[in-house]
Amino acid sequence: MKYLILVYGNPENWEHPMFLRNPEFLALPEEERAELTRQAEDLHKEITESGELLVGAALADPVTATTFRGSGGLPVATDGPYLEAKEQLAGYFVVDCESPERAAEIASRFPDARLAAVEVRPIMDMSGQEM
């Protein structure tokens, strides 16, 4: 089954990987920062070698976004994200896992899950069934 892992971060620190610019990460002792970085690298290697990682991408700063919303039956464009928020979608990964538990385990191992937010959701096919 395929899952979408969404990584959120604060646009004030917009540079990837996000966790490396997070003030909470930067406040950690150097040894802990090195360990979290190693864990992130190990996770990426693990899910790449296992074939679970299908794709991943970092997103540009939210100020470069255009949001379309319906107004009077017509789409209206606004610059940037629609709502002011402390955390914005920073990037995503698509994984193909045997179970929701495995997808959750992968998502929870991203350093961003300790410092900001990481969401995992099943991907549906066009009929509404999970892939």
Q: What is the pLDDT of residues 3-42, one digit of tens each?
A: 999 998 877 767 778 888 888 889 999 999 999 999 999 9
Strand, coil or helix: 103: helix
Nearest to 110 by CA among 60, 65, 30, 53: 53
Hey, CA dihedral for 31, 37, 40, 42, is it positive or negative? negative
Nearest to 43 by CA among 96, 107, 119: 107
Per domain, the residue ranges of the chain are: 2-122
Phi and psi angles of residue 87, each rounded to the nearest 5 degrees, phi first: -115, 140
Domain at 2-122, CATH homologous superfamily: Dimeric alpha+beta barrel (3.30.70.1060)
Strand, coil or helix: 45: helix
Q: What is the pLDDT of residues 71-104, one digit of tens each?
A: 888 888 877 765 566 778 889 999 999 999 999 9
Q: Note the Cα 23 to chain centre separation in Å.
A: 18
- What token pair was written down for 1? 């089954």
